[in-house]
Structure 1
Amino acid sequence: MANAKTLEELSRADYWDERYRGDDSKDATFEWFKSFSNLESLFRNAFPSLRARSLVSSILDAATAYKLPIDLHDQGYTNQVCVDFSSVVIEDMAARFKDKGGISWKVEDVRQMSSIPDNDVDVAVDKGTLDAMLWGSLWDPPDEVKDNTRRYIDEPHFIKPFLIREALWDLQVLELKEEAGVFEYFAFVIVKKKAT
């Protein structure tokens, strides 16, 4: 995935359709970045409502070709909406995990989630979706990258400038140190400000 053309393709639904079409192996739910066991303490510390499952109205998982929604379900979080712009991914995940009640699978573009009402979720999780929208020069990104990230971020190190919306939310950047290997991993915890 090092070449520029492939990086650009990551931002397109047809790339993901092709990647997951006909893939019935266990690798179809490849774990992007970190696993749930690596992130569980982050979730519990960053999201107070996740400490008490009864307080969680809904979890939105933005782009969902991995196991996180299933791991959350197995921990008792059974009110989840999982979206992806790849119909192949959604159909596969819905069929594969049809026994997991309380997870809704929807074909939806995170840049314009028309079927998700405003203020309808308590916690939104992005585990690599924004990364897949970034290609070209990160110091002078193409207009398409700026438009895609703006539309996505306004809908709910170099990424931080894309995330700052001081009037809308507070942003906290946490370094995930365990099992970092050669890469540094960061969590961006965004808490929406209450209307005054």
Structure 2
Amino acid sequence: MGSSDEENARLAHPEFWDQRYGQANGDRPTHEWFRTFGDLDSFFNIRLFKNRNPDSKPKILHLGSGDSDVPVGLYERGYKNQLCVDFSSTVVGIMSKRHSSMEGIEWKYADVRRMDDLPDKSVDIAFDKGTLDAMIYGSPWCPPDDVKDNTSQYIREVSRVLKDDGVFLYVTYRQPHFIRPLLNCKGTDWDIELDILGDGTSSFSYHGFVLRKKP
């Protein structure tokens, strides 16, 4: 495994993120994966706002939320039943303190591969922006065993906590043909749609997966 793979493999461990978020500078975020709430407004408009009105109080689960601005952006749109989980206790503490006045968003320490405190079929919307990506390194054609193990544990947990009519929204910068086999892991059965995101002017393409459990 090369040095870049060794560095990327560290992303699957909380110690890396505790150190990273421990460098926080006041209210200034230290790490936004690649797209802000504003960047994703059109994606949310089609895939969330039009389908799940805030008045219906959908339970929104942010998977590996870090210090993303997406939960606050959704809160300001009226979504006040949000749970943000991350396995960095450092960032959970930072975000809980930073947004303590926002009733309706909870930041909680949890490993997305083992969300034991979350009941089966309890989530309406699950959202991931870069968390699955952080578990992936090595050859995209033949991922290492620990990549397949970590991603499979994670995706099965998302399927478990998602309601039968729930939606899993996943934003990624990785190529869809490499991601689909990881999403379609053993123990899951998804209907998958794919949105191409961005304005088409950037060479940095990214995608929005929309996953629903098959009836």
Residue type at the aligned position of 1:164: N
Ranges in structure 1 where 5+ consecutive residues have no aligned partner? none
Residue type at the aligned position of 1:8: A
Instruction: Give, in angstroms, the shift of residue 16 of structure 1.
Output: 0.1
Residue type at the aligned position of 1:18: Q
Counterpart position of 1:178: 199
- Determine if the alignment matches structure 1 residue 187 to structure 2 residue 208: yes
Counterpart position of 1:125: 127
8 Å Cα contact 2:52-2:58 kept in structure 1: no
Instruction: Give, in angstroms, the shift of residue 12 of structure 1.
Output: 0.7
Separation in structure 2 between the aligned mates of residue 109 and residue 57 of structure 1, nearest angstrom = 22
Counterpart position of 1:161: 181
Separation in structure 2 between the aligned mates of residue 144 and residue 174 of structure 1, nearest angstrom = 28
Instruction: Give, in angstroms, the shift of residue 167 of structure 1.
Output: 6.2
- Point out the more displaced range, 16-25 or 126-135: 16-25
For residues 49-91 of structure 1, the C-alpha deviation after alignment (integer angstroms, 9 at most, x for no partner) is: 7541122430000011211111111111110000001100101
Count of aligned residue pairs for this structure pair: 193
8 Å Cα contact 1:135-1:145 kept in structure 2: yes
For residues 173-194 of structure 1, the C-alpha deviation after alignment (integer angstroms, 9 at most, x for no partner) is: 1110326622110001011234
Ranges in structure 2 where 5+ consecutive residues have no aligned partner? 159-175
Instruction: Give the superposed CA RMSD.
Output: 2.0
Write out aligned runs for 1:90-169 (5 A): 90-156=92-158, 157=176, 158-164=178-184, 168-169=189-190
8 Å Cα contact 1:44-1:51 kept in structure 2: no
Instruction: Give, in angstroms, the shift of residue 29 of structure 1.
Output: 5.0
TM-score normalised according to structure 1 size: 0.90
Separation in structure 1 between the aligned mates of residue 106 and residue 48 of structure 2, nearest angstrom = 21
Secondary structure of the equivalent of 1:83?
strand
Secondary structure of the equivalent of 2:29?
helix
TM-score normalised according to structure 2 size: 0.83
Instruction: Give, in angstroms, the shift of residue 25 of structure 1.
Output: 3.7
Identity %: 41
Tell me which stretches of 4 or more aligned residues in structure 1 moved more than 6 Å.
none
Instruction: Give, in angstroms, the shift of residue 28 of structure 1.
Output: 2.5
Residue type at the aligned position of 1:170: D
Separation in structure 2 between the aligned mates of residue 148 and residue 172 of structure 1, nearest angstrom = 23
Secondary structure of the equivalent of 1:36?
coil
- Determine if the alignment matches structure 1 residue 14 to structure 2 residue 15: yes
Counterpart position of 2:56: 55
For residues 5-42 of structure 1, the C-alpha deviation after alignment (integer angstroms, 9 at most, x for no partner) is: 21111111000001111423444353322121221221
Separation in structure 1 between the aligned mates of residue 97 and residue 188 of structure 2, nearest angstrom = 41
